[in-house]
Amino acid sequence: MKTIHKFRIDTGKDITTLTLREGYRIVRCEYVLSDKAVYLWVEQPLSVSTPSIEQRFRVAHSGEPVPDDFSYAGTAVDPFGPEAYHLFQLPNAVKRSVTPIRQGLTSAHTSSSAALQRASA
């Protein structure tokens, strides 16, 4: 089985990192006027046994140079403004093994969770 998920993409110079399943496919990039934001729709497998990767994306404005190894992924246009947002995938996605969420927590998260549990007791 597969599904399509929607992700908000940062339109500044910051990089947006998404955790996606291997075999994902970008199906749409669009400027959503009501949110004044760029969104990305991605089709990906639902199987929990499919490994995940961390894929990085960056938005560039028209005429803004990007490195040669960035791959164009789509364009979103503000229909009531002069802006066009061009989405690029950065190279070298990082593969992640399939691990339960609890095992992926850092000690800082674990300490915070423990403190919250003690406080609510």
The confidence band for 106, taking pLDDT boundaries of 50, 70 and 90, is very low
- pTM comes to 0.74
Between 108 and 18, residue with greater pLDDT: 18
The larger pLDDT score, comparing residue 60 to residue 13, is at 60
CB atoms within 10 A of CB 75: 15
Checking if the pLDDT of 114 tops 70, the result is no
Residue whose pair of structure tokens reads 């399943």 in the numeric block: 21
Confirm if 51 and 3 have CB atoms less than 8 A apart: no
- List strand residue ranges (DSSP E) for the chain, in order: 2-9, 16-21, 25-32, 37-45, 52-61, 71-77, 84-89, 94-96
How confident is the model over 66-86, as pLDDT tens digits? 999 999 999 999 999 999 999
Q: What is the pLDDT of residue 12?
A: 87
pLDDT the model gives residue 37: 95
Quick check: 56 and 19 in contact, CB under 8 A?
Answer: no
CA 42 – CA 109 distance, rounded (Å): 28
Mean per-residue pLDDT over the chain, rounded = 84
Q: Which domain holds residue 64?
A: 2-120
pLDDT value, residue 118: 44
Q: How many domains does the chain have?
A: 1
Reply yes or no on whether the pLDDT at 43 is more than 90. Answer: yes
Residue 39 contacts residue 7 (beta carbons within 8 Å): yes
Residue type, 7: F
pLDDT beyond 80 at 93 = no
Closest by CA to 37, choosing from 10, 66, 75, is 10
Q: Which amino acid is at 21?
A: R
